[in-house]
Amino acid sequence: MTEIKRIRVGQLLTNCYVVSKNGVAFVIDVGANAKKVKDYCDSQNLKVEGILLTHGHYDHVGAVKEFQDLTDAKIYVSTLDGTLANDRRNMAIEMGCVMDPFTPDVLLEDGDHITIGDMDVTVISTPGHTSGGVCFVLEDQIFSGDTLFQTSYGRTDLPTGNYNELKKSIHKLFALDGDFKVHPGHGFSTTLDDERKHNMINFDD
């Protein structure tokens, strides 16, 4: 059975997710508090084999290098946001922070599959919050980063953001077949059916 643990990290309370099955795990968006996340993984006897990044803003990638040093896990990020994450557009300076740059191991494109242990993750390109933003789909779960929130959606006024692209991306998620549990980059989890009905994106001009 797949298990999902949410750990809030950093000054913006970013949702970092530890996703595991049969003792193998991947971690999504280690924005801060690398040791805290690693301590949780150790407490569950998890072998971390992947670090998956939904996008390149500092609050989602700020502790990636440190966490990789602690785990030797591979870093997965889209081609566009792998670049964004390592330059000043990642917003670290604006947040008064300094970030250690990292080197991605795997650059992702729309439709890619990531196999970690017994888990198969599908990559969905969802530009808008950033130009290289992605969502990760595992079974009936979507990890939506800052694309889709409970009744809301990500900002588009930050570097490489684009509202029209974000709206297209969210409707791309809405077009998926069936319902999914949605785990966003901030705030509480929701469901795709609820967001199809109630998300603010439906009521914007």
Domain ranges of the chain: 3-203
* Residue 183, CA distances (Å) to 17, 54, 135, 191 in order: 9, 12, 10, 8
How many C-beta atoms lie closer than 10 Å to residue 162's C-beta? 16
* Cα-to-chain-centroid distance, residue 170: 15
Q: What is the pLDDT of residue 97?
A: 86
Q: What is the pLDDT of residue 205?
A: 59
CA distance 8 to 30: 10
Q: What is the pLDDT of residue 28?
A: 98
Q: If the chain, 205 residues long, is cut into consecutive pieces of 10 residues, what is the mean pLDDT of each piece?
A: 97 97 98 98 98 97 98 97 92 88 97 98 98 98 98 96 98 98 98 97 82
CB 78 within 8 A of CB 91: no
Q: What is the pLDDT of residue 203?
A: 87
Q: What is the pLDDT of residue 164?
A: 97
Output the pTM of the full model. Answer: 0.97
* Distance in angstroms between the alpha carbons of the first and the last residue of the chain: 42
Q: Convert 80-113 to b/e letters by CB count within 10 Å (16 or more is b).
A: bbbbbbbeebbbbeebeeebeebebeebbeeebe
How many C-beta atoms lie closer than 10 Å to residue 69's C-beta? 13
Q: What is the CATH number of domain 3-203?
A: 3.60.15.10
